[in-house]
Amino acid sequence: MFAPDIWPAYFREARGCEVWDLDGKHYYDMSHNGVGACLLGYGHPEVTEAVTKRIADGSCCSLNPPEEVELADELCAIHPWAERVRFARGGGEACAVAVRIARATTGRSVIAVCGYHGWEDWYLAANLGESDALSGHLLPGLSPVGVPRALRDTTVTFPYEDQSALDTIIDTHGENLAAIIMEPCRYHDPDPTFLAHVRDV
pLDDT at 148: 92
Domains in the chain (CATH in brackets) are 13-43 (no CATH), 91-200 (3.40.640.10)
pLDDT of 121 > 60? The answer is: yes
Distance between CA atoms of residues 52 and 94, nearest Å? 25
pLDDT at 31 (0 to 100): 67
Whether the predicted pLDDT of 4 surpasses 70: no
SS3 78: helix
Strand-pair partners of 110: 177
Q: Is the pLDDT of residue 138 over 60?
A: no
**Confidence class for position 54, pLDDT limits 50, 70, 90:** confident
Regarding pTM above 0.85, the answer is no
Q: Which residues neighbour 180 within 8 Å (Cβ) at sequence distance 6 or greater?
A: 111, 112, 113, 114, 166, 198, 201
Tell me the pLDDT tens digit for each residue of 154-190: 999 999 899 999 999 999 998 999 999 998 877 678 8
* Average pLDDT of the segment spanning 12-24: 91
